[in-house]
């Protein structure tokens, strides 16, 4: 039997440190499913593990892509499952860690089965998006699948600002004549492992303080310079990310640097709250306070092996 120890929780809660400790204990490797740590140009602002942490345990899917590539959650699912198949030949216990709920679900449960959509529909949506912007896609989804639009607005509003995801939702509605949500939770792919899910959490005030401190550290480590180098490509989908968008506004002269930094902290806190909302819906999670002794977590994992 193969087991995938999966560590979830909000940003800045200590998932990286826990994953490395567990990888050392179980002598296994780590898959990252943080959808922004894939990109080699985005190191400081995505809190990529440092050189010492990367050396402490073998990591996969860290800075393995460039922001100029189109890399979807479906691409990640296929590559992650293939990598796990390889790793399970060496050790029947492996670790996955990250704060991107959709990417976690893609590996643990697989994607829903959607019919092929005529490419002409996506081409027209691309043209409409160029003319009318994200508001047009939002309105179309609201018309064609009000239930799913409301779900996103309530639970994952950042997705409503993602042009690629929104085009996908709308093209399925148009191409099939059915709501996008009608295809969800139908067929799931079989997995050759059993997930053991560990969640880390903290009281909200503590969590927010940790986030604020992390942003200050990022600024000290050179986030401003990193964002400045990425600024010419600010419209790329990968860069529609907290920590960069706010600094792009500063470079555009829309805000002061002090205001931009406070916005990064505020938006990161909001992001953490959405992460918790998503992960709290996940079933069979063993939740621990972020300061819990590692041995207690290991004992819980051992009881499930």
- 290 and 242 co-located in one domain: yes
Question: How many structural domains are present in the chain?
Answer: 2
- 222 and 284 co-located in one domain: yes
- 102 and 234 co-located in one domain: yes
- Of 137, 165, 183, the residue that ends a domain is 183
- Of 183, 214, 238, the residue that ends a domain is 183
- 59 and 26 co-located in one domain: yes
- 94 and 179 co-located in one domain: no
Is 17 annotated to bind a ligand? Reply is no
Cβ partners under 8 Å of residue 203, min gap 6: none
Distance of CA 78 to the CA centre of its chain: 16
Is 14 annotated to bind a ligand? Reply is yes
Return the pLDDT at 186: 66
Residues of the chain with pLDDT under 50: none
Burial pattern 103-118, b for ≥16 Cβ within 10 A else e, equals bbbbbbeebeeeeeee
Is 10 annotated to bind a ligand? Reply is yes
Q: Tell me if 2 sits within 8 A of 88, measured CB to CB.
A: yes
Q: What is the pLDDT of residues 250-287, one digit of tens each?
A: 999 999 999 999 999 999 999 999 999 999 999 999 99
Please tell me whether the overall predicted TM-score, pTM, comes out greater than 0.85 for this model: no
Is 109 annotated to bind a ligand? Reply is no
Q: Which domain holds residue 279?
A: 3-111+189-304
- 49 and 96 co-located in one domain: yes
Return the pLDDT at 272: 96
Give the CATH number, domain containing residue 175. 1.10.20
C-alpha 251/C-alpha 272 separation (Å) is 25
Is 177 annotated to bind a ligand? Reply is no
- Of 140, 161, 183, the residue that ends a domain is 183
Q: Tell me if 172 sits within 8 A of 114, measured CB to CB.
A: yes
Return the pLDDT at 188: 62
- 97 and 199 co-located in one domain: yes
Give the CATH number, domain containing residue 286. 3.40.50.300
- 158 and 288 co-located in one domain: no
Cβ partners under 8 Å of residue 92, min gap 6: 1, 2, 3
Q: What is the pLDDT of residues 141-154, one digit of tens each?
A: 999 999 999 999 98
- 179 and 199 co-located in one domain: no
- 92 and 198 co-located in one domain: yes
- 107 and 211 co-located in one domain: yes
Is 195 annotated to bind a ligand? Reply is no
Return the pLDDT at 143: 96
- 208 and 137 co-located in one domain: no
Is 56 annotated to bind a ligand? Reply is no
Is 243 annotated to bind a ligand? Reply is no
């Amino acid at each position: 039997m193969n087991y995938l120890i999966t560590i979830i929780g909000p940003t800045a809660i200590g998932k990286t440190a826990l994953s490395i400790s567990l990888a050392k204990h179980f002598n296994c490797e780590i898959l990252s499913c943080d959808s922004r740590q894939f990109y080699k140009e985005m190191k400081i602002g995505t809190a990529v593990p440092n050189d010492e942490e990367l050396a402490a345990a073998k990591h996969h899917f860290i800075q393995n892509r460039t922001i100029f590539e189109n890399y979807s959650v479906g691409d990640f699912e296929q590559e992650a499952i293939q990598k796990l198949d390889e790793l399970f030949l060496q050790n029947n216990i492996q670790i996955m860690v990250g704060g991107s709920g959709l990417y976690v679900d893609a590996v643990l449960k697989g994607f829903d089965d959607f019919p092929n959509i005529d490419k002409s529909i996506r081409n027209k949506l691309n043209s409409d998006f160029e003319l009318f912007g994200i508001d047009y896609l939002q309105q179309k989804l609201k018309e064609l699948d009000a239930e799913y639009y409301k779900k996103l607005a309530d639970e994952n509003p950042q997705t409503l600002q993602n042009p690629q995801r929104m085009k996908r939702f709308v093209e399925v509605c148009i191409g099939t004549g059915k709501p996008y949500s009608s295809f969800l939770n139908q067929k799931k792919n079989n997995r050759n492992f059993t997930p053991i899910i560990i969640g880390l959490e903290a009281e909200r005030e503590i969590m927010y303080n940790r986030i604020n401190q992390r942003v200050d550290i990022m600024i000290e480590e050179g986030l401003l310079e990193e964002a400045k180098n990425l600024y010419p490509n600010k419209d790329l989908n990968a860069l529609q990310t907290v920590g960069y968008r706010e600094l792009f506004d500063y470079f555009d002269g829309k805000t002061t640097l002090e205001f931009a930094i406070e916005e990064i902290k505020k938006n990161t806190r909001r992001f953490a709250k959405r992460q918790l909302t998503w992960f709290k819906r996940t079933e069979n999670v063993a939740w621990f306070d972020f300061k819990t002794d590692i041995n207690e977590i290991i004992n819980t994992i051992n009881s499930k092996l």
